Amino acid sequence: MQIDVISDTVCPWCFIGKRRLARALEMRPEIEFEIVWRPYQLDPNVPREGADRATYMKAKFGDGPRVSAMSESLKSEGLREGIPFAFDKIERRPNTLDSHRLIRWAAAAGIQDTVVERLFAAYFLEGRDIGDPAVLEFLAADVGMDSIEVAELLAGDTDIAVVEREAKLAGEMGITGVPAFIFANKFVLAGAREPEVIAQVIDKALEADAEAAE
């Protein structure tokens, strides 16, 4: 079964959703899954060089008690999935276009999932600027990709239009938030839902395939 995951690399709920998806897949060990990561940009208007995160977050969400409560809630949910969010380490709010390009190139090597995990960890746990080409080159090398080739690709405009078009397509499909999961091109599940819920949707997709075959 193919599962398309629409996500953004600066979305903490997408990191949580990734871990919950992994747990759901473990509940269905008899099924062979193909996970395809699709791009989405929560804010494509962030400059390509990124922005100061503290300033960006204050402008977008304010700095009242509600924001602090939201951050603590995310930390709590993250710990449930083994993710010790370190928001205090993050200094830049990157434009995520280049990180999505890297994910796209990782598909050819069959390591998309590995690259997505590494990007999430780099941003949310280590505070790295995943919009910086040098950081992306380092992360690519860290997971076994050819960093020289990645550097050359990042220096040009390879796949920029494709990623932008695909991210826009998600919006045209009615997806207004991430993560979103598409199961076998039949069912869409929005949000970082619990593994049990994800497993139930997997079962529904299997049932739909069985009925179509009959």
pLDDT in tens, 138-154: 999 999 999 999 999 99
- Beta strands across the sheet bearing 2-7: 34-39, 2-7, 180-183, 187-190
Buried b / exposed e over 156-179, threshold 16 CB at 10 Å, is eeebeeebeebbeebeeeebeebb
DSSP assignment string, 77-139? HHHHTT----GGG--EE---HHHHHHHHHHHHTT-HHHHHHHHHHHHHTT---TTSHHHHHHH
pLDDT at 212 over 90: no
pLDDT score, position 214: 74
* Chain mean position to CA 206: 25
pLDDT score, position 36: 98
pLDDT score, position 206: 94
Query: Is 189 strand, coil or helix?
Result: strand
Cα gap 68→88, rounded to integer Å: 12
pLDDT at 81 over 80: yes
Name the amino acid, one letter, at 100. Answer: H
**pLDDT-based confidence at residue 130 (cuts at 50, 70, 90):** very high
Measured CA distances, 104 to 52, 97, 116 (Å): 26, 11, 10
pLDDT at 89 over 80: yes
User: Over the Cα atoms of the chain, what is R_g?
Assistant: 17
pLDDT in tens, 99-121: 999 999 999 999 999 999 999 99
pLDDT in tens, 26-76: 999 999 999 999 999 999 999 999 999 999 999 988 887 888 888 899 999
Cβ–Cβ under 8 Å, residues 138 and 132:
no
Cβ–Cβ under 8 Å, residues 179 and 6:
yes
**pLDDT-based confidence at residue 2 (cuts at 50, 70, 90):** very high
Average pLDDT on 184-210 reads 95
Cα gap 50→192, rounded to integer Å: 26
Query: Is 152 strand, coil or helix?
Result: helix
Q: Write down the mean pLDDT value for the chain.
A: 95
Write down the CATH superfamily of domain 2-213.
Answer: Glutaredoxin (3.40.30.10)
pLDDT in tens, 3-22: 999 999 999 999 999 999 99
